Amino acid sequence: MLKALIAGSLLVSPLMLAGCGKSGEQAGASTSVEDARWSDATVAQLRKAIDARAAHGLDRMRFDISGEAGSVEGQGALTQSALRYASALAQGAANPNKLYKIYTLPRPKVDLKRGLAEAIAKGKVDVWLESLAPHDAGYRKLSQAYLALRKGGNGTPAAIPAAAEPLKPSETDKRVPIIARQLVASDYLPREQASNGHLYTQPMVRAVKQMQADYGIDPDGVVGDDVLEVLNLSDADRARVIAVAMERARWLERVAPATRIDVNIAAARLNYWRDGKLIDSRRVVVGKPEHETPQLGSPIWRLVANPTWTVPRSIEKRELAGKSAAYLRRNNMARKDGWIVQQPGPKNSLGLVKFDMKNEHLIYLHDTPAKQLFNEVQRQRSHGCVRVQDALGFAELLARDAGVLDEWKKARATGKESFVKLPYEIPVRLLYQTVVFDQAGEPVIRADPYGWNEKVSTALGFPASRDMRLRAAVGDVGP
């Protein structure tokens, strides 16, 4: 059952390997896809598979099967239809590199032509197609939720109905339990403060005010049409978000690195996996809407103790223009070789540790002196880098696991910028996931702070929607 509104590792099926065969010399003779001959049976398998595409949220896309097996032209048309559908399952129906300015997460590499040729030759086109999509439990849950919503949303939470008058603090309303449940799901209201009665309580009012502020609504605590627009999703809206989540899953490699760091940009949360087990989870602060944190695959290769911060030209121009020499001195900043450099210390915008990553976009994880931002619900507040809650504790955890804890402690003790190279790189995936899974493994829809779902859903054939966007908050000068 799909849980309330707004607010892993992907496994591969052995059958997926059918699309990633060895070279011709290694695998023996193989029929090329151009020479493969469709039979009535394999055509029927293809038609049946495409007819069932709703299980992957692809039912709004057309995969025409106009070819007939009895002609050369028909054979070619069938092959092209099969390859198009296979590509949608194996790598996604849309190319994220074309949807987003920056997208460097590793994508599946599948030899679809070879796989299709072998599937036709063996008469198992249906088995091969079924093997291409993700097969992990999360994807199956998404598929089940999408099919349920498509049939009318059986078992999903009821939407909040509109009312003639807005709901004001201390009033009673039969919709209060539904509102409370959705505020809990979105992290605005602690579960223990949710009321099952009809009284619109002060804890709920405070939660609504915080949500209103995040979305640029007058924070008066009144539940009117604007608040309902944030909280309320129709079954069609929910189905669209679930379909987008399945598409994003198809973009990812089927086997994630067993040891890795995943940052969900949309939920502003970090998960550290070691040897396939979730070891640590903590809050992060990510880029504000006009300075979005990009979707990257980029490893951490060293820890930097007591880092300096060279202020980027863009931040210098927008945030520090006109600042006096006294301001720079107060913040331990000075010009060096034409750049503003902030020296190590507790006021440094990178805090006391930086996690150096390998990418050309100057995106990395780091500490911060602005600890209060971790208490926010919507933590899209930085200039694009990822600020880590208790970053010193996280650095010590990574150093201990990597066997360099002594070196790390010595580097910290110097009080100067010092570097500790890790004996191995730790893959980091900066993901954008607006559907997460609760402890029971059920999908929960969270906010879409950057409005990035729209491009994906449009590519999947969904009509345009009007989502409430997170307000760009005033932040500090840090990265």
Indicate the class that CATH gives domain 258-308+344-433: mainly beta
Segment 341-398, tens digit of pLDDT: 999 998 899 999 999 999 999 999 999 999 999 988 889 999 899 999 999 999 999 9
Q: What is the pTM of this model?
A: 0.83
Confidence of residue 30 (pLDDT cuts 50, 70, 90): very low
Mean pLDDT of 95-117: 96
Tell me what pLDDT residue 67 has: 66
User: How far apart are alpha carbons 96 and 168 in whole angstroms?
Assistant: 43
Tell me what pLDDT residue 113 has: 96
Q: How many other CB atoms sit within 10 Å of the CB of residue 26?
A: 7
Kindly state the greatest CA–CA separation across the chain.
Answer: 83
User: How far apart are alpha carbons 50 and 62 in whole angstroms?
Assistant: 9
Look over the chain and give the mean of its residue pLDDT values, rounded to a whole number: 87
Between 219 and 155, whose confidence is greater?
Answer: 219
Q: CA 379 from chain center: how many Å?
A: 14
Q: Which two tokens stand for residue 184?
A: 């809990």
Between 66 and 205, whose confidence is greater?
Answer: 205
pLDDT at 5 over 50: no
CA angle 260, 261, 267 (to 5 degrees): 145
Mean pLDDT of 218-228: 91
pLDDT at 19 over 60: no
Tell me what pLDDT residue 4 has: 41
Q: Which two tokens stand for residue 33?
A: 């896809």
Confidence of residue 31 (pLDDT cuts 50, 70, 90): low
User: How far apart are alpha carbons 197 and 182 in whole angstroms?
Assistant: 15
Please report, for the chain, the start and end positions of each structural domain, with discontinuous segments joined by +.
Answer: 14-133, 258-308+344-433
DSSP labels, 75-111: HHHHHHHHHHHHHHHHH-SS-HHHHSS-B--------
Q: Which residues pair with 304 in a beta bridge?
A: 354, 419
User: How far apart are alpha carbons 181 and 183 in whole angstroms?
Assistant: 6
Question: How many helices and strands in the chain, by DSSP H and E?
Answer: 16, 15
Confidence of residue 191 (pLDDT cuts 50, 70, 90): confident
Percent of the chain with pLDDT over 90: 61
Confidence of residue 474 (pLDDT cuts 50, 70, 90): low
Percent of the chain with pLDDT over 70: 89
User: How far apart are alpha carbons 408 and 405 in whole angstroms?
Assistant: 5
